[in-house]
Amino acid sequence: MTLAETSEPIGEFNKHVGFELTEWQRNHACVEVEIDSYHTNVMGVTHGGVLVSALDFACGMAGCYRPPPEPRFYCMTLTLNTNFIAPMRKGLLRAHGRKIGGGRSVFFAEGEIVLPDGTLIATASGAFKLFDRKPKA
């Protein structure tokens, strides 16, 4: 599956925020968004909700990959613990997620947002429930 073929599974919320899945392989995903003024809070730093959403998306996708031609997995976040380390202003946000373990129905993942200069912005760890196909609403 190419990244271009993942537009449907990304979801409307992620598209609305501007997230793009730029890397996706077994146990790893990277999500990017160019932070602009509408992503910031009253203090002019990236809103915590944007950071958490990027980490959630990256961590979840890290566990949903299946090599082509297999259909991808879907997942639902069960828990997500986030630590805010430093403020982020405008620029490129890159959230990396890594699947670190789990079984057939639940997996665990860690994520981080690090600026190009090495500044750690936020970290996350969570548990995610796997589905073989898209759950019905």
56/62 Cα distance (integer angstroms): 10
Q: What is the pLDDT of residue 4?
A: 46
Give pLDDT tens digits for 80-120.
999 999 999 989 999 999 999 999 999 999 999 999 899 99
For residues 52-61, give the mean pLDDT: 98
Q: What is the pLDDT of residue 134?
A: 73
| Domain range list for the chain | 13-131
For residues 69-79, give the mean pLDDT: 92
Phi–psi pair at 91, nearest 5 degrees:
135, -170
Length reported for the chain: 137
Query: For residues 56 and 98, is the Cβ–Cβ distance under 8 A?
Result: no
Is 13-131 in CATH node 3.10.129.10? yes
DSSP string for residues in 76-93: EEEEEEEEE-S---SEEE
Query: For residues 106 and 127, is the Cβ–Cβ distance under 8 A?
Result: yes
Instruction: Read off the pTM.
Output: 0.91
Q: What is the pLDDT of residue 60?
A: 97
